[in-house]
């Protein structure tokens, strides 16, 4: 079988790698090159949703996050290029007594929902000196969260594929089947086929990188802001979620506010210089879940899209599900993840 993957973001490259590892012939097509869209961003937070109100999306996200260590170790071993993956955990400051009570309830549910493999625990904030200010002096610490460097991870996948004879090209060869992992452009293509409903859209995000080596400490999540220390001696912070914009690739005062909030939340960043500012569109399906399965517009072809905010975290499982479907005809994709969930 010859599989053509359209799109060289995290979904497309991960699916291509899963198919190549199963011995299939694969071509990856992207006229803009690897990581040209949302996957070329900065943050790289692989973090779970809270362990409560359990649903299919949270269960599959947990499964994928648990798979991630082995997935990225395999990619790194195939290339010698470190994706800078680490299951370093995450801390979240607790604002008041109510937040502390909720955190304690979630600790009990995490033990069951996370199968006793990872912890959600309340610790003194000074367990992690200088990393976060907390009004209560307490933080939630979870050991499921991980981080990777998005661009380094994509580069490792590109190199792993190249070692198997697969390069990213601008032109589309003919293949036996096609998988569309084309991000925002692919969602826009679907709009209009469901009456007046919007099937998917791009949500602008802005992020920044600061020069500060914090070592192997947990990432921080505070007031909707991700602060992610990377293994290359930098810290990524982000991001905004903007439904309206003039220029999807420009940064502005909204990013200045994110940077100021990060400095306020994390004392170690207060004098860290900004070395990069980034903005781009992230693909959000109407269902808010990844869109996986048979393509609604292209008969006999497939789609993997809509990894809004959780694309890197979901990539190991998305790659497996799509390879199972396309190669073996095994369809284990739940209804919530199918295109129909956004078309209904």
The rounded distance, in Å, linking the Cα atoms of 337 and 308 is: 13
On whether residue 152 sits in a domain, the answer given is: yes
Tokens of 343: 């078309």
In a domain, 91, yes or no: no
The C-alpha angle with vertex 321 and arms to 1 and 113, in degrees rounded to 5, equals: 165
**Contact predicate 323/292, CB 8 Å:** no
Average pLDDT, integer, range 67-96: 96
At 172 the pLDDT is 76
Strand order in the sheet with 25-29: 168-169, 25-29, 2-6, 177-180, 302-305, 291-294
Tens-digit pLDDT profile for residues 90-137: 999 999 999 999 999 999 999 999 999 999 999 999 999 999 999 999
Question: pTM above the 0.85 mark?
Answer: yes
* Domain hosting residue 296, numbered range: 2-86+146-197+286-343
The CATH number of the domain holding residue 319 is 3.50.50.60
pLDDT surpassing 70 at residue 168:
yes
pLDDT at 194: 63
Q: Is residue 141 part of a domain?
A: no
Q: Is 100 helix (H, G, I), strand (E, B) or coil?
A: helix
Residue 175 lies in a domain: yes
Question: Is 267 a domain residue?
Answer: no
CA-wise closest residue to 260 among 218, 309, 222, 310: 222
Mean predicted confidence (pLDDT) in 201-226 = 96
Asked whether residue 239 is assigned to any structural domain, the reply reads no
Residue burial 252-276, b: 16+ Cβ < 10 Å; e: rest: eebbeebbebbbebbebbeebeeee
Confidence of residue 174 (pLDDT cuts 50, 70, 90): confident
pLDDT of the residue at 175:
80
**pLDDT tens digit sequence for 243-275:** 999 999 999 999 999 999 999 999 999 999 999
CB 28 within 8 A of CB 168: yes
Strand (E) or helix (H) holding 69? helix 56-79
| Domain count along the chain | 1
User: Hunting for tokens 């400051």 — which residue is that?
Assistant: 93
Name which of 48, 149, 63 is nearest 106 in CA terms.
48
Residue 120: inside a domain: no
Domain contains 94: no
Do the Cβ atoms of 38 and 205 come closer than 8 Å?
A: yes
The pLDDT, as a whole number, for residue 192 is 75
Query: Could you give the angle at the alpha carbon of 123 between the alpha carbons of 88 and 130, nearest 5°?
Result: 65
pLDDT interval class at 196 (50, 70, 90): low
Q: Is the pLDDT of residue 189 over 70?
A: yes
């Amino acid at each position: 079988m010859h599989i053509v993957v359209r799109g060289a973001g995290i979904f497309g490259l991960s699916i291509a790698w899963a198919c190549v590892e199963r011995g299939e012939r694969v071509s990856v097509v992207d006229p803009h090159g690897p990581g040209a869209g949302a996957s070329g961003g900065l943050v790289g937070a692989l973090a779970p949703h809270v362990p409560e109100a359990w649903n299919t999306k949270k269960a599959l996200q947990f499964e994928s996050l648990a798979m991630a260590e082995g997935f990225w170790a395999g990619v790194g071993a195939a290339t010698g290029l470190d994706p800078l993956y680490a299951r370093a955990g995450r801390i979240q400051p607790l604002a008041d007594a109510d937040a502390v009570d909720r955190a304690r309830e979630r600790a009990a549910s995490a033990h069951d929902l996370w199968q006793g493999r990872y912890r959600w625990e309340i610790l003194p904030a000074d367990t992690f000196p200088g990393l976060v200010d907390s009004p209560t002096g307490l933080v939630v610490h979870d050991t499921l969260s991980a981080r990777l460097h998005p661009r380094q991870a994509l580069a490792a996948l590109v190199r792993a594929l190249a070692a198997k004879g697969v390069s990213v090209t601008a032109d589309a060869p003919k293949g036996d089947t096609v998988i569309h992992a084309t991000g925002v452009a692919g969602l826009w293509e679907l709009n209009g086929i469901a009456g007046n409903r919007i099937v998917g859209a791009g949500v602008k995000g802005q992020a920044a990188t600061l020069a500060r080596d914090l070592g192997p400490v947990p990432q921080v999540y505070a007031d909707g802001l991700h602060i992610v220390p990377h293994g290359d001696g930098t810290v990524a912070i982000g991001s905004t979620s903007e439904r309206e914009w003039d220029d999807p690739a420009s940064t502005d005062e909204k990013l200045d506010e994110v940077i100021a909030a990060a400095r306020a939340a994390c004392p170690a960043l207060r004098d860290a210089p900004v070395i990069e500012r980034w903005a781009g569109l992230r693909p959000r399906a109407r269902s808010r879940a990844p869109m996986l399965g048979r393509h609604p517009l292209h008969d006999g072809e497939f789609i993997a899209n809509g990894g809004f905010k959780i694309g890197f975290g979901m990539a190991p499982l998305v790659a497996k599900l799509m390879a199972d479907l396309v190669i073996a005809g095994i369809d284990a994709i739940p209804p919530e993840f199918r295109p129909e969930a956004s078309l209904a």
